[in-house]
Structure 1
Amino acid sequence: MKMRLAAIDIGSNAARLLISDVSVNNEGKTEFNKINLVRVPLRLGFDVFETKTISPEKTEMIIHTIKAYKHLIEAYNVEHVKAAATSAMRDALNAREIIDRVKEETGINIEVISGGSEASLIYENHIAENLDKDHAYLYIDVGGGSTELTFFANSKLVFSSSFNIGTIRLLKHQVSDGQWDTMKDFIKRETRSYFNNIIAIGSGGNINKIFSISKRKEGKSLHIELLKDYYKEFASFTLEDRMRLYKLREDRADVIVPALQIYVNTMRWANAQEIYVPKIGLADGLIQHLYADLKKGSGSLTNCRRQMVPCPPNFRRCQYTTK
């Protein structure tokens, strides 16, 4: 049985639509095949982290983006969709009215998730479970408004935590020394038992871009010293030079330096010397979470699919399906 699902991730820097096919192979293993990934740089954090609200202009951008995503969802014949918003929407005082308007105009319900939920959804990808058991693994997901950390050791989830330290907050000078110290103390305290045995797993657009620039082969890691070198190199250039020399969009060129700062600090405090970049993110976790919910309630699945109506109670998290 094959199912086509979609996830919408509305972050502080960009909104993403991921469309994936989910199937079970002959060995009974579930496979997730990405069909399309669309990114729109809404940059909500530039409004919210200064004014605590999303401007009318950004609100219209959100509406247009979700409407466009809905058209793609319908064009790809997607059966179920899950939408989530993170740090910027968590902080925006007018988030509720925007979410209500999106629902009214598109039928898509956006769930504002907590930092802890965001960290857990990143872990839904279960990347560490496929790696060797001799190491502990620290997931690091760096966004515009927050950084999510999930620690996995001895085949168990040790912790998931979120910190309001993100690339846009750093650009806007919204992160205090006290916040850095809190994050540092937490990481050192919670990982000290695994000293010299931790490997990082990175997600987010910035670490994926760094991996691409490094020209490493897929499946290879990046060493922390290389990230430090990139940080020094990129920080030495102007925004325009970064865009020109590395062929970066402006909305990537400005946030890549603070992103490297976060990755380097986090790895340093956990004493992780290398980081793997498996091209995962919140949208992937949303897809897997949606599939798990649908699988649990598969007995009612045929009654819910292909309709723009509320799902039955056991589909509480899936909220709405497409036409």
Structure 2
Amino acid sequence: MAKVTTIIDIGSNSMRMVVLEKSSRFSFNLINETKSRVKISEGCYENGGNLQEAPMQRAFNSLQSFLNISKALKSRKIICVATSALRDAPNAKVFINKVKNELGLNIRVIDGPKEAYYGGIAALNLIHGEEFVTIDIGGGSTEFAFIKDGQIVDCISLDVGTVRLNELYFSKNDYTGARNFILEKLEEVKNCGHDIPQTVVGIGGSIRSLSKIIMNKNEYPLDILHGFSYSVDLNSYVFDKIINAKNNNTLKHIGIKKDRYDTIKEGAFIFKTILDELNTKTVITSGVGVREGVYLADILRNSNCKFPQNFNVSVRSLLDRFEICPRQSAYLGNNAKQIFDVLKPIHNLDDKYKTLLVIASKLHSIGTTLNFYKSNDNTADFILNGLNYDFQHSSRVTVAHIIKFSKKRLPKETELEKYSTLLPNLETMHWLSFMISLNLTINQDMSNPKVTYKLKNSKLRVAFEKSIYVVESDIKKLETPEGIKVKVVL
């Protein structure tokens, strides 16, 4: 696998490109993302499915720019896939051959189930969850991938998309016809033979735009779409507002961006119809899709298209890019586990917090690369955006705040107010703050000292093999949660 790889996805409405750089065997990070609204399928559904000249030229010109970016970033491998627009078009080879002959780029047209499969791979590896169905609404089709017990068990593609719906029904104000069309196609999903999960992972530009509006309406504290979840029942009114919008001014007032005016009503209509019919309770927003799925299928081809167990690509990527010493990272992670476990009889925290404490302990020092002073704040701010994949928003915010308050003093309630809906209670944050502070203080001289812990009568005895003055004196300064005292012994 090339170190820098470019993935291009030619959709019916938008053409998108991601450029990804490997930092270790399974680890990577995004170095470029580019989108062009070429609308390659514009006018095709009214003309026997044939691609029209002007949209094809827009797509060709955009591909030229995409390839320029890829070359400038020293990409050694380019994978270009095309979905509904090209697989449906009788004259698709005209465009494919022109691109191959003049740009030297091979376009691989994938079928609907394969498109669903790639979206499923992306969600399976980069979204936190074990059982859900992905829904990817595009311009020409909508794809479904069923995930159960961490495996893709089925992939379905329906010829239902925003551009298709617009040209066949919405342009004629035939909402009843549009709904019946969707429901008829949806029978294939309902009769697929699988239990339909009540959680949907939503993929695609229309679904991300809807999530952004819901975030704003609810004054959500974290400006991150990937991993954002919401209740369908509590937010269905947002769909209705968009579907019933009389004009673009109304859409603007709702908060829809200008480049979505032409497809957002159709997208909202399709998504709401599907969610209602499938009795969906929760939607998780995905910032990844076919492009990332194509990439993951490539780098994970020898491991059943799944990351190894307990591997997190975001954590590994940050450790790689900030060149965190593996020996120090391993020591802090193991020490965090020991501290958490020995104090469990007092703090009684769920083991999920042990995982977050270990991650915070390993990543705490990346802020010093940005600026030594206020490094904890630097790290916390970076973590909010840097833990991109396979993290619930609550976990991401918790890790950031564990690091932020890892210097002797416990957080105050007022300091947690902004993210209070995503953070655990104050008592839990006190314990997590104390445990990481103790962990970092013990290894303050970076000697990875041998240390043992013993809890007796709410007193934690920390025993060192040999005296380390700066560590011993700073442990005494640590602010502790209620009900625990710390004593250093030799």
TM range (shorter): 0.7 to 0.9
* Residue in 2 that maps onto 1:286: 294
Greater RCO, CA 8 A, separation 6+: 1
Q: Decide whether the 8 Å contact of 1:44 with 1:54 is kept in 2.
A: yes
CA pair 70-242 structure 1, distance change in 2 beyond 3 A: farther
1:49 alignment partner, SS class: coil
**Corresponding letter in the other structure for 2:236:** K
Amino acid at match of 1:153: K
Aligned residue type for 2:120: Y
Task: Using the aligned pairs only, state the percent identity.
Answer: 24
Distance 1:228 1:191, change over 3 A: farther
1:186 aligns with 2:181: no
Contact 2:20 2:31 in 1 (8 A): yes
- SS, match of residue 125 in structure 1: helix
For residues 126 and 237 of structure 1, what CA distance do their matches in structure 2 show?
31
Give the aligned partner of residue 153 of structure 2: 158
Q: 1:226 to 1:164 in 2, by over 3 A?
A: farther
How far does residue 249 in structure 1 lie from its aligned partner after superposition? 4.4
Amino acid at match of 2:165: L
Match of 1:83 among 80, 83, 100: 80
Correspondence for 1:269? 277
Kindly state the Cα deviation for residue 21 of structure 1 after the two structures are TM-superposed: 1.4
Residue deviations 1:123-161 (CA, integer Å, cap 9, x gap): 12143786354xx30100000100000011133322100
Aligned equivalents of 1:293, 1:104: Cα separation in 2: 30
1:121 matched to which residue of 2? Answer: 118
Q: Hey, what's the Cα distance between the residues in 1 that align with 2:8 and 2:126?
A: 25
* 107-116 or 254-263, larger mean C-alpha shift: 254-263
Superposition map of 1:219-258 within 5 A = 219-246=227-254, 248-258=256-266
Q: Report how far residue 286 of structure 1 moved.
A: 1.9
Q: Secondary structure at the match of 2:168?
A: coil
Q: State which of 171, 189, 193 in structure 1 corresponds to 2:166.
A: 171
Partner of 1:318: none
TM-score normalized with structure 2 length:
0.54
The whole-number CA distance in structure 2 between the counterparts of 1:283 and 1:274 is: 24
* Residues 209 and 180 (structure 1), Cα distance of their counterparts in 2 relative to 1, 3 Å cut: closer
Is the partner of 1:36 in helix, strand or coil?
strand
Distance change in 2, residues 1:177/1:238 (3 Å): closer
**1:91-127 Cα distance to aligned partner (Å, 9 max, x none):** 2222101111101111111111111110011112143
Structure 1 gap segments, 5+ residues each: 297-323
Match of 1:93 among 76, 79, 90: 90
Match in the other structure for 1:149? 144
Aligned to 1:202: 202
Secondary structure of 1:209's partner? helix
| Bigger radius of gyration | 2
2:35 aligned partner: 39
Alignment check: 8 A CA contact 2:179 2:273 kept: no
Gaps of 5+ in 2: 170-176, 305-490
Question: Does residue 64 of structure 1 match 2:61?
Answer: yes
Q: Which has the larger share of strand?
A: 1
Structure 1 length normalisation: TM-score?
A: 0.80
- Kindly state the Cα deviation for residue 189 of structure 1 after the two structures are TM-superposed: 2.8
Q: Cα–Cα, structure 1 residues 46 and 280, in superposed 2: closer, same or farther, change >3 Å? A: same
Cα distance change on mapping 1:273 and 1:73 into 2, 3 Å: same
Segment of structure 1 superposing worse, 56-65 or 115-124: 56-65
**C-alpha distance after superposition, 1:49-83 (max 9, x if no partner):** 11122222222212211111111010111111100
Tell me, in whole angstroms, the C-alpha distance in 2 between the residues paired with 1:147 and 1:19. 25
Aligned residue pairs total 288
